[in-house]
Amino acid sequence: MLLQCGIDGQCDVQCIGPGGENMKRWATSHARPDGPVVLAGLAGALSPLCHAGSAYIAALVVDETGEDSWTPTLTQPATATADSPHGDIVITSTQAPITGRLARQIVNRETGGMLIDLESVAFALAAQKGAWPWWGVVRGVSDDLTTLLPEGVDEWVSDGGHTRWGHVMRSLLLRPQLIPRVLTMREHSIAAMRAVAGLLRSMLQLDADGAVPQAG
């Protein structure tokens, strides 16, 4: 989606694919990135302060226990946005998508995370191990606390980061009642990635050294 938003001419966009294992594989083949690195993409919300269709810069990554955390190695401007006047955003990761509202509330309480994805912790660990200069994690919210994720949604995207349309259509044929929910998530995802692209452009404009980050 970032390529469709026209961000590829401003930074090196590389598709990693979903999940921590894909992040680890990418990190192994990019032990020494050419410049600052940003993890960009979609996430779910754990807090009512993070709205579907919006994007945020996460200033802190925490693991699912809430005990270990990582901060970007490069100083960033304030992470508050028009939709998040409360400032610093915390993101955490899990091994598989969390679909229920109660489960999200539990993760929010235990970790302090406001956003959740599958890759941020693996990304932060790789950045720490490789001593990468990283600007942080930029995530657009595809699903907020009011969204009930469809069962099997984790099978809708391939390891290469591409939509498995066969899996999507099979799920919708078996459960046509999902169609309105999926269409809403698609609208939120498109708006969220446009917002992600906007934040990335702002980060590039504020880069005084003219370094070109890699965004994944």
Q: DSSP character for 114?
A: S
Q: What is the CATH number of domain 12-205?
A: 3.40.50.1580
Q: How confident is the model at residue 84 (pLDDT cuts 50, 70, 90)?
A: very low
Highest mean pLDDT among 13-17, 25-29, 165-169: 25-29
Domains of the chain, residue spans = 12-205
The per-residue pLDDT for 96 is 83
**Segment 159-181 mean pLDDT:** 75
Record the tokens describing residue 34, joined without a space: 């050419």
Whole-angstrom distance, CA of residue 25 vs CA of residue 62 = 21
The per-residue pLDDT for 81 is 46
The per-residue pLDDT for 12 is 77
The per-residue pLDDT for 133 is 86
